[in-house]
Structure 1
Amino acid sequence: MALFEEKYLTIHHNEDVQCIHMQWTGFATTENYKYGMNTGLEKVKEKHVSKWLADMANMGAISPNDQKWTNEDWFPRLLEAGIRTAAVVMSKDVFNQLAVKKIGKDMTDNSYTMHFFDDLEEAKDWLKDFEPQNS
């Protein structure tokens, strides 16, 4: 059952993996992107999970301003909420791929692990089995 559903995004709580699963389904305006990301963050807090699954296979480009907002505003709040691991299914859109890789590269928090996939099932399997290293 979906926790949130709009034409650009569906958010699920995947109980098998114990994660919030964000399934993007096209282009999201800045307003929709931020609303969707913030809603996902609220679901993390509600469900008390430490894992994040971002399925961006069908997502369009992410603007440079949205990339900056994600790194500077949203990611610190996500980490504060307890997320430590993310699996990202890469978009077919080359501009989205570049943006997501830049966002991942700009992350400097060592308590957070992000891994990229081309296949949703591989991403779920990895996330389900991943155990963070204690520092």
Structure 2
Amino acid sequence: MLYIDQPNLQIYYNQVLNCTIHTWKGYFLEEEYRRAMSHCLDLISKTGARNLILNVQAAKYEYWVEDSWTADMWFPALMQTDLQKFAIVVNESQLPSSNYYFYPFINDGLLVIRYFAWLEEAQDWISRKGL
């Protein structure tokens, strides 16, 4: 189900993966970023998605301007959902050395965050049971 389709942003829900997929292309500005990330949360709530893929491979930015908003507003709201897996797709040069991050949910669940260099790898991980 396509939710947003714009030149620099696509957000859709993949029913088979029970996953919201959020793909950035090109440059993005502060207000665009906040609005898109809020739309992402809305779609997770509407669909009951248990998985999220954030694909920023084709995004262009010189520095991350929204760290505080993401940490203080968006991520706590994300933690209130029933999300279980969160895949972040970045350029291979941006992969962190530690690839798994675990965050406890407010409702005593667990959110697993993992980085990938390819969208297909992220989708494969989302499709598998377990971590």
Q: TM-score range by the shorter chain?
A: 0.7 to 0.9
Seen in structure 2, the aligned counterparts of structure 1 residues 108 and 129 have a Cα distance that, compared at 3 Å, is: closer
Same amino acid, percent of matched pairs? 23
Inter-partner Cα distance in structure 1 for 2:129 and 2:9: 25
Aligned residues: 124
Which residue identity does 2:127 align to in structure 1? K
Seen in structure 2, the aligned counterparts of structure 1 residues 61 and 91 have a Cα distance that, compared at 3 Å, is: farther
Alignment partner, residue 107 of structure 2: none
Alignment partner of 2:12: what SS? strand
CA contact (8 A) 2:25 2:59 kept: yes
Alignment partner, residue 109 of structure 1: 103
Normalising by structure 1, we get a TM-score of 0.80
Q: Note the C-alpha offset of 1:108.
A: 7.1
Alignment partner, residue 26 of structure 1: 26
The structure whose residues are more often helix, as a share, is 1
The structure whose residues are more often strand, as a share, is 2
1:3-22 pair list within 5 angstroms: 3-22=3-22
Q: Which runs of 4+ in 1 moved over 3 A?
A: 62-65
Q: Which has the higher contact order (CA 8 A, sep 6+)?
A: 1
Inter-partner Cα distance in structure 2 for 1:60 and 1:91: 11
Which residue identity does 1:79 align to in structure 2? M
Which has the higher mean CA deviation after the structures are superposed, 107-116 or 44-53?
A: 107-116
Q: Note the C-alpha offset of 1:80.
A: 0.5
Q: Note the C-alpha offset of 1:74.
A: 0.1
Q: Note the C-alpha offset of 1:72.
A: 1.3
Inter-partner Cα distance in structure 2 for 1:63 and 1:38: 20
Q: Note the C-alpha offset of 1:7.
A: 2.0
